């Protein structure tokens, strides 16, 4: 166990160093904010070792003239809208990891971000006003999500199959050994206390899926080398999707009692009932919204802290800062390992709590 | 930028106070009744998560220009 922890720490240590040395090369004036934001964002390519070793992911676009596919290699690692790729008679350029239609002339600002003959420049806040094609590309996040799905399926199916075989004699083996305590934990400590003995079974598949998906992806986001390191749970679109699932399940499993509590709270004077109804109605939406923002903000904040601490070395331009910086990075990384589990636990617990509220039976007037 | 940073700081102070209170009270409760530790811990976590949500709302609002 001691050796295991030690090896994980060493791994984090070396990889963070490697990550730091990648950032050094392509910047005369080092900008920590830009570096951190770049590493936190979704991307069309995997930078494994600076820009020397890159894995290019496919770009799939739905344009005005139909489907267009090409490799992100054709942008030559450019992300500032300088390189133009021509396919199917249309021109594309990549700016801050988003793909835009482009023409080949520079505009007033010296940017290539222009849309043919309609809009000619970036707006005041330096946001491109170009049209975008529908982007269905397999980005870093999509790749990471598929990887986690495959991992989860392999582990869960092999664990599930174990219980059907004759080998099962009350003691789990193999993948089941790892999965069983976690499943029992989700059932006994999350589902049953929050939803209740009678109804929890219906919600177990969803709770388990969310728990394992969030946890695995939190952990995978923390491992900073290929094929991991995509900030999936720190992407607001992903957390939004998960929160929408919770919202849909809560709303559709809401019984009479639940809706009565929202629109006509029992045991409250009538003027107060009218006053409470809109607040309760807003509450329906703020609950999943807080689920979404919590997971997104926690994971993104963790990543940004680690990256900023590594950036300190380049901000001070001195190797002497490195030991302090690395000790701090290891410290935060260890805390982040705790946060990965905690956020998965909280997401699942609160989902279960909301399901419990929705299915609670009428007991007494209060 | 300046004002939004102050807003984020205030949200952090508020959340810190709230979570600190929960943590302190939970510790006292556990010290008084160690056998109820599990229940106290999980409800303290949920309460901390709720406070965190409010703080994050404040921070998100302060980031919107």
| Tokens at A104, concatenated | 């080949």
Predicted local confidence at residue A350, as pLDDT: 92
- Cα A140 versus chain centre, distance: 11
Q: Is A294–B49 a contact, with Cβ atoms under 8 angstroms apart?
A: yes
Predicted local confidence at residue A210, as pLDDT: 95
Q: How far apart are CA A331 and CA A325, in angstroms?
A: 10
Most confident of A226-235, A272-281, B20-29: B20-29
Helix (H, G, I), strand (E, B) or coil at A366: coil
Mean pLDDT within A147-165: 90
Question: Does A95 or A60 have the greater pLDDT score?
Answer: A60
Helix (H, G, I), strand (E, B) or coil at A360: coil
pLDDT at A358 over 60: yes
Question: Does A243 or A120 have the greater pLDDT score?
Answer: A243
Q: How far apart are CA A193 and CA A360, in angstroms?
A: 12
Q: What confidence tier does A10 reach under pLDDT thresholds 50, 70, 90?
A: low
Cβ A92 vs Cβ A99: under 8 Å? yes
pLDDT at A71 over 70: yes
Q: How far apart are CA A33 and CA A321, in angstroms?
A: 18
Cβ A41 vs Cβ A116: under 8 Å? no
Give the position of tokens 């490195």.
Answer: A322
Contacts of B11 in chain A (CB under 8 A): none
| Tokens at B36, concatenated | 């109820």
Q: What is the crossing angle of helices A322-359 and A256-263, to 10°?
A: 100
Question: Does A27 or A172 have the greater pLDDT score?
Answer: A172
How many Cα atoms are found within 13 Å in the side-chain-facing hemisphere of A58?
A: 9
Number of H helices, E strands in chain A: 10, 8
Residue of B42, B45, B52 with shortest CB distance to A294: B52
Q: How far apart are CA A142 and CA B57, in angstroms?
A: 28
What are the tens digits of pLDDT across the range A198-207?
A: 889 999 999 9
Helix (H, G, I), strand (E, B) or coil at A266: coil
Predicted local confidence at residue A46, as pLDDT: 81
Q: Which of A296, A297, A342 to mutate to test the interface with B (most CBs of B within 10 A)?
A: A297
Predicted local confidence at residue A59, as pLDDT: 87
Residue A233 DSSP label:
T
Predicted local confidence at residue A144, as pLDDT: 92
Cβ A343 vs Cβ A238: under 8 Å? no
What percentage of chain A carries pLDDT values higher than 70?
A: 83
pLDDT at A213 over 90: yes
Q: State the CB neighbour count (10 A cutoff) for residue A148.
A: 23
| Tokens at A40, concatenated | 């936190």
Q: How far apart are CA A253 and CA B2, in angstroms?
A: 45
Contacts of A290 in chain B (CB under 8 A): 50, 53, 56-57
pLDDT at A14 over 60: no
Mean pLDDT within A224-244: 89
- The residue count of chain A comes to 366
Kindly list the residues of chain A whose beta carbon comes within 8 Å of any beta carbon in chain B. 189, 193, 290, 293-294, 297, 342, 345-346, 349-350, 353
Instruction: Return the bridge partners of A90, or none.
Output: A87
Strands (E), chain A: 45-49, 53-56, 58-63, 66-71, 80-87, 90-95, 98-101, 134-135
Distances in Å between the Cα of A183 and the Cα atoms of A174, A188, A217, A354, B61 are 15, 9, 17, 20, 37
Most confident of A29-38, A119-128, A262-271: A262-271
Instruction: Return the bridge partners of A87, or none.
Output: A90
User: Which chain A residue has the Cα nearest residue B45?
Assistant: A346
What are the tens digits of pLDDT across the range A124-154?
A: 666 776 677 888 888 889 999 999 999 999 9
Question: Does B23 or A56 have the greater pLDDT score?
Answer: B23
From edge to edge, which strands make up the β-sheet containing A80-87? Answer: A80-87, A90-95, A98-101
Residue A93's φ and ψ, nearest 5 degrees, are: -140, 155
**A20-41 CB burial, b ≥16 within 10 A, e <16:** bebbeeeeeeeebeebbebbbb
- Cα A233 versus chain centre, distance: 2
Q: Which of B37, B53, B55 to mutate to test the interface with A (most CBs of A within 10 A)?
A: B53
Q: What confidence tier does A6 reach under pLDDT thresholds 50, 70, 90?
A: low
Q: How far apart are CA B24 and CA B32, in angstroms?
A: 12
Closest CA relative to residue A343, chosen from A204, A192, A181, A210: A210
Distances in Å between the Cα of A14 and the Cα atoms of A9, A155, A226 are 9, 29, 14
């Amino acid at each position: 166990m001691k050796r295991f922890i030690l090896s994980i720490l060493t791994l984090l240590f070396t990889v963070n160093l490697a990550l730091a040395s990648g950032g050094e090369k392509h910047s005369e004036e080092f900008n920590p904010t830009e570096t951190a934001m770049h590493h936190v964002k979704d991307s069309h390519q995997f930078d494994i070792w600076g820009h020397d070793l890159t894995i290019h992911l496919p770009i799939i676009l739905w344009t005005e003239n139909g489907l267009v596919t090409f490799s992100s290699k054709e942008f030559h690692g450019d992300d500032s809208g300088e390189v133009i790729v021509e396919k199917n008679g249309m021109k594309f350029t990549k700016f801050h990891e988003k793909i835009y239609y482009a023409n080949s002339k520079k505009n007033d600002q010296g940017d290539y971000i222009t849309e043919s003959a309609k809009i000619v420049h970036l707006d005041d806040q330096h946001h491109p006003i170009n049209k975008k094609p529908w982007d269905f590309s397999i980005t870093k996040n999509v790749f990471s999500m598929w990887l986690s799905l495959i991992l989860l399926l392999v582990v869960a199916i092999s664990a599930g199959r174990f219980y059907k075989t004759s080998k099962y004699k009350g003691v789990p083996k193999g993948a089941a050994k790892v999965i069983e305590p976690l499943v029992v934990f989700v059932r006994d400590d999350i589902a049953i206390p929050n939803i209740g003995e009678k109804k929890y079974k219906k919600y177990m598949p969803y709770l388990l899926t969310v728990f394992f998906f969030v946890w695995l992806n939190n952990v995978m986001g923390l491992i900073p080398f290929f094929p991991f390191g995509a900030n999936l749970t720190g992407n607001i679109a992903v957390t939004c999707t998960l929160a929408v699932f919770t919202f849909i399940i809560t709303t559709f499993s809401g019984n009479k009692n639940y809706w009565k509590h929202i629109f006509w709270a029992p045991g409250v004077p009538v003027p107060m009932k009218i006053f409470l109804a809109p607040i309760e109605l807003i509450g329906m939406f703020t609950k999943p919204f807080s689920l979404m923002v919590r997971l997104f903000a926690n994971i993104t904040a963790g990543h940004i802290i680690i990256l900023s601490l590594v950036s300190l070395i380049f901000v001070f331009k001195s190797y002497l800062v490195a030991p302090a910086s690395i000790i701090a990075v290891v410290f935060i990384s260890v805390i982040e390992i705790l946060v990965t589990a905690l956020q998965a636990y909280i997401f699942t617990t609160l989902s279960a709590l909301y399901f419990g509220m929705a299915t609670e039976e009428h007991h007494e007037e209060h | 930028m300046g004002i939004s940073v102050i807003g984020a700081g205030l949200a952090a102070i508020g959340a810190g106070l709230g979570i600190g209170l929960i943590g302190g009270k939970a510790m006292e409760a556990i010290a008084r009744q160690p056998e109820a530790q599990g229940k106290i811990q999980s409800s303290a976590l949920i309460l901390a998560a709720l406070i965190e949500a409010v703080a994050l709302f404040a921070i998100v609002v302060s980031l919107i220009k």
